[in-house]
C-alpha cells in the first residue's frame, strides 16, 4: 500500500485492527521507499485450531482488505 495514503492506512486498521506494519519488501516485494507492508497475524486466535484453517471472522477481514483498491497483493508468509 502506498506510504502516502493515511486514509487507506486508517481503513486497513479499521477493517482489521490486529494488522501490523513492517519496513520490509516482504514476499510481496514492496518498494520500501514508497510502500508500506502490512502483516495480518495468523495466530491461534485467527484459526480454528493450531495450524488449522482461518476462522470466518479472519476470512471476512481478509476479504474486506482484498477489496481495497490500494491493496496491490496479498501473499502467504512464513507460517501459512
pLDDT block averages, 10 residues each, the chain of length 80: 94 95 87 92 86 91 95 76
Dig out the grid coordinates for 79 from the structure: 507460517
Closest C-alpha to 80, from 25, 48, 49, 41 = 41
Give the pLDDT score at 44: 83
Q: Which pLDDT does position 75 carry in this prediction? A: 87
20, 28, 56, 15: CA torsion to nearest 10:
40
pTM over 0.85: no
Domain limits of the chain? 6-66
Tell me, what's the pLDDT at 14?
Answer: 96
* pLDDT value for 27: 84
Cβ–Cβ under 8 Å, residues 26 and 37: yes
Amino acid at each position: 500500500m502506498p506510504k502516502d495514503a493515511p486514509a487507506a492506512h486508517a481503513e486497513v486498521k479499521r477493517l482489521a485492527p490486529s494488522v501490523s506494519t513492517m519496513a520490509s519488501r516482504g514476499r510481496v516485494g514492496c518498494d520500501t521507499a514508497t510502500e508500506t507492508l502490512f502483516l495480518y497475524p495468523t495466530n491461534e486466535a485467527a484459526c480454528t485450531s493450531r495450524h488449522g484453517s482461518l476462522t470466518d471472522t479472519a476470512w471476512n477481514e481478509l476479504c474486506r482488505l482484498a477489496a481495497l483498491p490500494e491493496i496491490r497483493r496479498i501473499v502467504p508468509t512464513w507460517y501459512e
